Amino acid sequence: MAVTIKDLARETGLTAATISAYFNGASVRPYNREKIERAIDKLGYIRNDYARALRTHRSMTIGVLIPELSNMFFTGLVTEIEEALRLKRYGLIICDCRSDPSREREAVKFLQSKTVDGIIVMPATDSASSLMSAVDKRLPVVALDNYTESRSISHVVVNNRNAAKQATEQMLAQGHRKIAVIHGDEKLFTSRERLAGCRNAAAQADGVLIAEQGGNSVRGGYEAAKKALCEHPDLQGLFATNYEMSIGAAVALKECGKQIDENFAFTGFDCAKILPVLCPGMHMVLQPAHELGAVAAETLLAMIDGGPVRNIILNCRII
């Protein structure tokens, strides 16, 4: 039913091997080239990657594991990865793991059954156990945004501790001494690092830090911020340490009528697009999403070509 290379062969009077050569960049006599191209158009040929991958052991497809399709920071990274890989003629298979390690494990198997050439994962936990079936088969794996305990996979992350520390220091230096930090799930290395950075800064500068768990969601950020603001009317600053929580916290601020000025500072994380428009004067820690995605893609391709495991730490910008 589908048009195959054999149909092209019949149509052109050539052999399947020649058509294949044409597709793979070998030189083909001009008049044959033309015949082939005409036949492709006429029959609407689309190459069957399954057969190709079966023969070549390369699918030109890489798998992406995302913890939540509803988390805009992650979907943003996927977009960057796609951009980078498209240029190298790689396609993507995206799997939503719902922050569930068992789905992650299943997804890894699914990707392997599709013989992807490598996997980029934004890990749902610090444990790499769900990735083992890939690692065991020497399939290149890059973890993005969060560390795992495995030494066999590459990591591309930001210096979370430092970024959080700097952001906190900046608030303290501007005279905001009592600050609430809305932090994410402590099960994640990334969240712990950010909180640790805040604590460091507060300890060094003699500030008062109120930590409030925001559960990695807009709702959680909203509620945590509300709580902090109600319980500490004398609060001088708020720092939300991820995308979703930053939005929630911003709404809470608006609702409590808090102005951002010399008496109150607000720092968010990662949402450059909307928040600064809505809360002029706020600060923002920005992970270099473009670079993260690009470097993860590059690292994976290097591993596919036999390169070593790499651990890369990028810096955040604060604006």
Residues that bind DNA (CB under 7 A): 2, 4-6, 13-21, 23-24, 26-29, 32, 45, 47-48, 51-52, 54-57
Q: Which of residues 209-268 bind a second copy (CB under 8 A)?
A: 218-219, 222, 248, 251, 254-255
Could you tell me if 165 and 201 are in contact, meaning their C-beta atoms sit under 8 angstroms apart?
A: yes
The region, left, alpha or beta by phi > 0 then psi within -120 to 50, assigned to residue 310 is beta
If contact means CB under 5 to 8 A according to the sort of partner, which of a second copy, DNA, none does residue 79 touch? a second copy
Cα 238 to Cα 6, 100, 161, 258, 310: the distances in Å are 66, 30, 17, 11, 35
Residue among 137 and 273 whose Cβ is closer to DNA: 137
Pair of tokens at residue 120:
């980029």
- The one of DNA, a second copy, none whose footprint includes residue 20, by CB under 5 to 8 A per kind, is DNA
Of 194, 264, 188, 281, the closest CA to residue 229 belongs to 264
Identify which of residues 115 and 127 has a Cβ nearer to DNA in the complex. Answer: 115
Residues in 274-303 at the binding interface with a second copy, rule: CB under 8 A: 274, 277-278
CB of 119 to DNA, least distance (A): 19
- Interface mask (CB under 8 A) for a second copy, residues 8-47, using x and -? ------------------------------------x-xx
32 interacts with, out of DNA, a second copy, none, CB within 5 to 8 A per kind: DNA
Contacts 24+ apart (CB under 8 A), 66-71: 66/94, 66/95, 66/96, 66/97, 66/122, 67/97, 67/98, 67/99, 67/122, 67/123, 67/124, 68/96, 68/98, 68/99, 69/96, 71/216, 71/243, 71/244
**Site map (CB under 8 A) of a second copy, residues 125-164, x = contact:** --------x--xxx--------------------------
For residue 249, what is the DSSP state?
A: H
Q: Token pair 């008496």 is at which residue?
A: 263
Which residue type sits at 295?
V
**Binding residues vs a second copy (CB under 8 A):** 1-2, 44, 46-51, 53-54, 57, 59, 61, 69-70, 72, 75-76, 78-79, 82, 91-96, 98, 109-110, 112-115, 133, 136-138, 218-219, 222, 248, 251, 254-255, 273-274, 277-278
